[in-house]
């Protein structure tokens, strides 16, 4: 090629580079959530979106709330997305560990269809008793159950939910049967608990926290490996001599086959955000603490919990749904 012919091509090179850079800057990331705005999962997704916007490249990131089917619709949509790092999922652990045991027609495989990017935050579940139970701690509640008869029950946000099956695990661990009473959400079960219509509930700590602080209900045990920082003086089940541990956690996922470089970039931005005082303060208002992880750590935790739920669901008598 003669020099004078090459000059126009050289002149176009900066334009081509600028166009590529512009495309990189204008590519939008989508962070999908299977629940309505305003809850813990939605709040975490918005923190992730902010981290992606503030990270390398500063690209736009939007949160999309795809509600329905207990969060499964958002999971299915991320499964079907291109594995390019532009579509992500923020989800609690239930869809990835419990759902394979409670839905026959599950249209995704948590292991095959997704790669865990990082755990985001963690908290605890609580066993909470109300004024129906004349006890102050887990030992007293266990003794009361022995003679409670038909009053020995617990409420959960619904049949087949993680608090329902966790309640079954608690009853087995205590060696005392409790009848499950399903509700359409934790708030309704806690209202009945405070009103004396239920003996106990199982829910995330934060959902029972205000009623606990007001003295209308009593959180008597939590499910973490260490005591919850949000309820003073309440022991874990393990501290009380019960071999039961199940943290509440939320994680970030990408479609399977997403390139490692994209995952590393996303993970770095999110971990940086979680380390900031502002993020810790925002999470504390949700009753959560930062809990970043590697992909391998999250895969191991997910595998342990998935294996745990199989026998629990079977023992509960719950019939898997379509």
- Report the CATH number at residue 162: 3.40.190.10
In a domain, 232, yes or no: no
Tokens of 48: 């992730």
Q: Residue 8 above 90 pLDDT?
A: no
Determine the 3-state secondary structure of 117 from DSSP.
strand
In a domain, 202, yes or no: yes
In a domain, 128, yes or no: yes
* Alpha helix positions (H), the chain: 3-26, 40-54, 72-80, 94-97, 99-102, 138-148, 162-174, 186-194, 205-213, 260-274, 277-285, 295-316
Phi then psi for 260, rounded to 5 degrees? Answer: -60, -35
In a domain, 236, yes or no: no
- Max CA pair span of the chain: 98
Which DSSP state fits 35? S
Short-list 2, 24, 12, CA closest to 262: 24
Kindly indicate the confidence band of residue 28, based on its pLDDT and cuts at 50, 70 and 90.
confident
Q: How far is CA 63 from CA 55, 72, 269, in A?
A: 16, 16, 16
**In terms of domains, do 139 and 200 share one?**
yes
Q: Residue 32 above 70 pLDDT?
A: yes
In a domain, 256, yes or no: yes
Domain residues for the domain of 101 are: 28-123+248-316
In this predicted structure, which of 1-15, 82-96, 255-269, 299-313 has the lowest mean pLDDT?
1-15
**In terms of domains, do 210 and 141 share one?**
yes
**In terms of domains, do 119 and 252 share one?**
yes
Distance CA 164, CA 92 (A): 15
**In terms of domains, do 47 and 109 share one?**
yes
User: What average pLDDT does this structure show over 40-62?
Assistant: 90
Per the CB < 8 A criterion, the answer to whether 75 and 106 are in contact is: no
**In terms of domains, do 113 and 149 share one?**
no
In a domain, 235, yes or no: no
Q: Which run of H or of E encompasses 138?
A: helix 138-148
User: Higher confidence at residue 11 or residue 197?
Assistant: 197
**In terms of domains, do 98 and 152 share one?**
no
Which pLDDT tens digit goes with each residue over 149-175? Answer: 999 999 999 888 899 999 999 999 999
Number of domains in the chain: 2
Burial class of 68 by CB neighbour count within 10 A (0 to 12, 13 to 18, 19+)? exposed
- Dihedral (CA of 307, 311, 316, 319) sign: positive
Q: Residue 22 above 50 pLDDT?
A: no
**In terms of domains, do 43 and 118 share one?**
yes
Kindly indicate the confidence band of residue 18, based on its pLDDT and cuts at 50, 70 and 90.
very low
Which pLDDT tens digit goes with each residue over 96-114? Answer: 999 999 998 899 999 999 9
pLDDT (0 to 100) of residue 322: 63
**In terms of domains, do 135 and 112 share one?**
no
**In terms of domains, do 128 and 213 share one?**
yes
Distance CA 135, CA 296 (A): 42
Domain C-terminal end among 171, 204, 222: 222
In a domain, 146, yes or no: yes
Which pLDDT tens digit goes with each residue over 113-147? Answer: 999 999 999 999 999 999 999 999 999 999 999 99
Question: Which CATH number do you get for residue 94?
Answer: 3.40.190.150
pLDDT (0 to 100) of residue 251: 98
**In terms of domains, do 253 and 117 share one?**
yes
Strands in the chain per DSSP E? 29-33, 61-65, 87-92, 114-129, 153-156, 179-182, 200-204, 218-222, 247-255, 289-290
User: What average pLDDT does this structure show over 22-50?
Assistant: 84
Determine the 3-state secondary structure of 121 from DSSP.
strand
**In terms of domains, do 113 and 261 share one?**
yes
Q: What's the full length of the chain, in residues?
A: 322
Q: What b/e string do you get for 153-188 counting C-beta neighbours within 10 Å, with b at 16 or more?
A: bbbbbbbbbbbbbbbbbbbbebebebebbebeebee
**In terms of domains, do 147 and 180 share one?**
yes
Per the CB < 8 A criterion, the answer to whether 74 and 66 are in contact is: yes
Within 10 Å of residue 214's Cβ, how many Cβ atoms? Answer: 9
Average pLDDT in the chain: 90
In a domain, 233, yes or no: no
């Amino acid at each position: 090629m003669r020099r004078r012919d090459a000059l126009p091509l050289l002149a176009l090179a900066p334009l081509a580079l600028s166009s590529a850079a512009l495309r990189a800057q204008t590519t939008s990331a989508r962070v999908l959530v299977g629940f309505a705005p305003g809850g813990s999962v939605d709040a975490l997704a918005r923190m992730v979106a902010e981290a992606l916007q503030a990270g390398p490249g500063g690209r736009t990131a939007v949160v999309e709330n795809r509600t329905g089917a207990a969060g499964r619709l958002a999971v299915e949509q991320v499964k079907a997305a291109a594995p390019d790092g532009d579509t992500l999922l923020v989800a609690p652990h239930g869809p990835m560990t419990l759902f394979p045991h409670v839905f026959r027609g599950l249209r995704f495989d948590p292991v095959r269809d997704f790669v865990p990017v990082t755990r985001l935050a963690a908290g605890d579940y609580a066993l909470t008793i109300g004024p129906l139970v004349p006890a102050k701690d887990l030992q007293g509640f266990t003794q009361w159950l022995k003679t409670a008869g038909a009053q020995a029950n617990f409420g959960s946000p619904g049949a087949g939910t993680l608090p329902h099956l966790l309640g079954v695990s608690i009853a087995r661990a205590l060696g005392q049967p409790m009848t499950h009473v399903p509700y359409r959400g934790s708030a309704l079960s806690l209202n009945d608990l405070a009103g004396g219509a239920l003996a106990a509930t199982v829910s995330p700590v934060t959902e029972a926290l205000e009623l606990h602080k007001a003295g209308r209900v009593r959180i008597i045990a939590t499910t973490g490996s260490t005591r919850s920082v949000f309820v003073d003086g309440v022991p874990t089940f393990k501290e009380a001599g019960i071999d039961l541990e199940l943290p509440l956690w939320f994680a970030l996922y990408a479609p399977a086959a997403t390139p490692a470089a994209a995952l590393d970039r996303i993970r770095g931005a999110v971990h940086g955000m979680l380390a900031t005082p502002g993020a810790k303060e925002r999470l504390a208002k949700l009753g959560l603490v930062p809990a970043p992880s590697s992909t391998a750590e999250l895969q191991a935790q997910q595998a342990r919990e998935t294996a745990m739920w199989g026998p629990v669901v079977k023992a509960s008598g719950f019939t898997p749904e379509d």
